[in-house]
A and B are shown apart, each in its own frame.
Chain A
């Protein structure tokens, strides 16, 4: 039981390049989330999904797209990376029950030059 895994762990991009971050969970959770963590800002929600085939915007969605084609996977895409997207990205999942715990992945550290 791996929990929540994220690929890759580290990545360096040049401005304008694109990439996809992959999140996978093996807990059969309905809800999945993408957050970014920046110094002094805490974690901010980018996008989330309440089930396979659904996605919704969070607090800071601009510049990102997501897809949830399979229940266990949640992909975060950057179409044209900008230096402002340099951050640590965390994926999380939960069972969807009221006040259920969110389980976090280990994070992806992205640097955009």
Chain B
């Protein structure tokens, strides 16, 4: 079945540091890929997405590129801020009609001033 493996946390960085959170997937066909973010005490919200190979999703300074050859969708940001502290989830959805999401286990990021 479909699955998502993402870098285990927690990750602690200083403000303005470079961030990478690794995500790889296993899926039949060509799924859509997502990064969701969960701020403390809140539900998840979409950060960015990509629907086909070589697509780059970007939002709020975060980027991720859909790499079919390595089945990866790594999240990057060049300079993190304290306000980026959150839990980040990589996810995929099959294109079978229900748009169900399969999530990775989440990576907690803490950014210190």
Contact = CB atoms under 8 A, between A and B. Distances in A.
Find the residue from B93, B101, B105 having the highest chain A CB count within 10 A: B101
Interface residues of A, number: 27
Contacts of A96: 99
A56 B86 CA distance: 31
Contacts, number: 60
B97 interface: yes
Interface string B78-96: 0000000000010001010
Find the residue from B42, B44, B103 having the highest chain A CB count within 10 A: B44
Contacts of B46: 101-102
Given A42-B89, A42-B106, A99-B49, A105 B97 contact: no
B44 A48 contact: no
Interface size class of B (residues with CB under 8 A): 20 to 34
A102 B105 contact: no
A52 to B, nearest CB: 15
B42 A45 contact: no
B51 interface: yes
A74 interface: no
Interface of B: 4, 32, 41-46, 49, 51, 89, 93, 95, 97-106
A43 B89 contact: yes
Contacts of A94: 99
B100 A48 contact: yes
A101 B41 CA distance: 20
Contacts of B99: 31, 94, 96, 98-100, 102
